[in-house]
Amino acid sequence: MHFPTLVSRPLFALAALAACAQSPAASASTGPAPKSFIDYFLPIPARAPLTADTWGAPGVLPRDTSNGLEDIANRFCYWDGQILRGDDGKYRLFASRWDEARGHNGWKDSIAVSGVSDHLLGPYVDRGPMWPDNQGGKGHNVTALRLPDGRYAVVVSETRPGDVFVSASPDGPWTHLGSIVTHGDVRKRASNYSVMVRPDGDFMIVPRSGQILISKTGILGPYVAQGPSIYPTIAGLEQRDLEDPCVWFSGGRYHLIVNSWSQRRAFHLTSRDGITGWTLRGVAYDPRVDFVRYTDGTINRWEKLERPGVVLENGHVVAVTLAVLDVPKDQEKGGDRHGNKVIVIPFDGAALDRDLAPADELPSAPRPASP
């Protein structure tokens, strides 16, 4: 998907420079901070006129209700969000959905759904539950990938134990292939799975725990833990409440975004082999920074940004999906003017991969800016 060349403000760098400005000594001894993942988000071309005549707190208005996946009537809440492009050129967004009347905590009864769009940014039209005859379509922590044999696979890992559904078409019908099997000392419950096919053909999972799991025998595994969580080994990474990992390969290295729900921001990590040597690259996203912006300069500030997903085209990230909420989770009571949706933000992944140093010449990891 091609987007016009746009210049992104170095948001993280500006924050770091502002912090340095408070200390003349630090300012004199250090140069500009390196760019971080958050600096490569691009302004969003609106698919429809921005409107304030919709649900949402003031910080997310006006907005483009045709971006991503949302219910304008606010009957449903949407979460998760992974986009795949089919052979027909259309885009499918795989997500979870529940009744907004239940409030945010209704996610415990969510179903897995897919939406379709002719454009990467949306709007995505909800096609309903993907496996209605299997537990009523139950599914949360939904992600998706294309298998080496050409089939599509959808993985759910919160309300079901790593269940995998497959189809020859991105529109189904979906068949329950089985549940993921893990071996070794795997920590925490089987949730927040991020699944990918490595360049060497192995399957790789990063769950909430931050462990690296590898399967050489297909998507169901067995996956073997490559050791304990990588998070404690990473210099500068704040260890609090990490979840929602998203792993991919681009620019000759493995990338991982991991969200801290209590800090309300996420961090970007890289590794040469995807198993060892993970390094902190900086902030991936932060709702207190004005990075969700339209080409006319309008800013949206969502209260919560979680469940990141990436869209890869021509070997680079071209867009990022985020599940978003306009108020704190305990304030989305249901039957109100608040809700959840999935947004799609264009991203200059080619520039990110170009700007990163060679994997064997990593610079010192930048410290995340304090809010």
Q: H/E element holding 194?
A: strand 194-197
Residue 185: pLDDT band (50, 70, 90) is confident
Q: Which residues have a Cβ under 8 Å from the Cβ of 158 and sit 6 or more positions away?
A: 140, 141, 191, 192
| Residue 31 reports pLDDT greater than 60 | no
Q: Name the token pair of 369.
A: 């800016």
**Alpha-carbon span 133 to 358, nearest angstrom:** 49
Q: Can you tell me the mean pLDDT for 335-362? A: 87
Percent residues over pLDDT 70 in the chain: 86
Cβ atoms of 320 and 69 closer than 8 Å: no
**Alpha-carbon span 176 to 280, nearest angstrom:** 37
pLDDT tens for residues 246-263? 999 999 999 999 999 999
* Domain 11-355: CATH superfamily, name plus number: Glycosyl hydrolase domain; family 43 (2.115.10.20)
Tell me the domain boundaries of the chain. Answer: 11-355
Residue 30: pLDDT band (50, 70, 90) is low
Residue 6 is predicted with a pLDDT of 36
Q: Can you tell me the mean pLDDT for 78-85? A: 98
DSSP annotation string for 278-298: -EEEEEEE-TTSS-SBBTTS-
Q: State if pTM tops 0.95.
A: no
The HSE-up count of residue 79 (CA atoms within 13 Å, CB side) is 31
| Residue 188 reports pLDDT greater than 80 | no
pLDDT tens for residues 50-68? 999 999 999 999 999 999 9
| Residue 278 reports pLDDT greater than 80 | yes
pLDDT tens for residues 345-358? 999 999 999 999 66
